[in-house]
A = this chain, B = another copy of it.
Amino acid sequence: MSYLANSWYCAGWSSELDSGTIGRTFLARPIVIYRDSHHETVALDGRCPHRFAPLAKGVVKGDTLMCPYHGLVFDRSGACVHNPHGDGHIPPNAKVRSYPVVEKNGAIWIWLGDPDEADIQQISETSWLTDKAYASVTGYLKVHANYQLVSDNLLDLTHAPFLHANTVGGDPEDSIGQQMEIDFHMDDGNVIHSDYLVRNMRRPTPQMRPLWGDRPGDFRAEMTWRPASVQELDIRMSPPGAPKTEGVHVPSLDYLVPENDLVTHYFFAVGRNVAIEDDEQTEMMGRFARMAFEQEDEPMIRDCQDLMGTTDLFSLQPAILKTDIASIQARRILNKLIKQSSRNAKAGAAMESA
């Protein structure tokens, strides 16, 4: 399977770098991330070019990173700048690739493709994460399934009344069928919006009850998907008929990154614009999110992956429902972009060799 390398992927939460390096595999490539002495973030290939030791277990020394096995030292460009042995000679291939990496609103973003294409304007805007009008909580999960199955799950919220009745799902009685209005539309060709609206929902979801109370309201869940696998979900509860900006706003985000075809990094955050100084509420919000995913979604997604026996959904000729439109379009966009990248890379290589 090929991945979309020309895309910003979340590599972790900024707070993780406070306690040392981050070592993770993205798109089947081991990566190490550290902060240098100027608090600048550095991302390098995660294995030493000498004996392939894990640089993530190395030691940051000023602006450099020292390999834990034989002590070779690399700078932020990935060049080996010190060999502590013998006469200190450094062979020319003693270097690793470095990657564009930036921090934004508390998240670390890495670009694994052509550095000339890396445009930080394309990085997910999630200002609520650092907005003082919101309280928020972040987390991380590892999922043993292909990342597109996790995207599919998030892009089709009709599963919520069936899988999440005890957490983030609505009561099946008033949140399925025609009662649930779904508005699907696309931006720029590549950004997908899938907005769910239940007018006058009689009973709020368990997650929403502590914030909104046990009274009816208009329930909205507005999902935005950007390639390769960034998802932002705005959940809102408003007085019946009122504008959606009135009432409770629970924004959340789901940043998925393939570790490989069968393992997915899942970075999530969830916020709220009410009772923002109530730490117990914050803790509970994190617990709801984690429970919904760890105990309800993840086992189901993993089961599906096991029963599929492949990561190619379309090869199994699935029965496609109208409510699958967002997930099907996201898969088509992603396939298209991966093919384009591959064509461009070949064309570039041909021009260089011409």
Contacts and interface: CB of A to CB of B under 8 A. Distances in A.
A304 B51 contact: yes
Given A162-B71, A303-B57, A307-B47, A318 B85 contact: no
B304 A71 contact: no
B321 A152 contact: no
Given A70-B156, A93-B317, A321-B50, A88 B162 contact: no
Contact of A319 (B68, B91, B176, B317): B91
Contacts of A300: 53, 57, 68-69
A318 B50 contact: yes
Interface residues of A, number: 53
A344 interface: no
Given A57-B303, A69-B300, A322 B177 contact: no
Contacts of A227: none
A177 B85 contact: yes
A89 B53 contact: no
A19 to B, nearest CB: 20
A316 interface: yes
A240 to B, nearest CB: 22
A133 interface: no
Interface in A264-288: none
Contact of A86 (B47, B69, B161, B322): B322
A221 interface: no
Given A54-B303, A84-B172, 19 more contacts: A47-B304, A50-B319, A50-B320, A52-B316, A68-B162, A68-B163, A68-B300, A69-B304, A70-B158, A70-B159, A71-B158, A71-B159, A84-B158, A86-B182, A87-B178, A88-B177, A89-B321, A89-B322, A94-B321
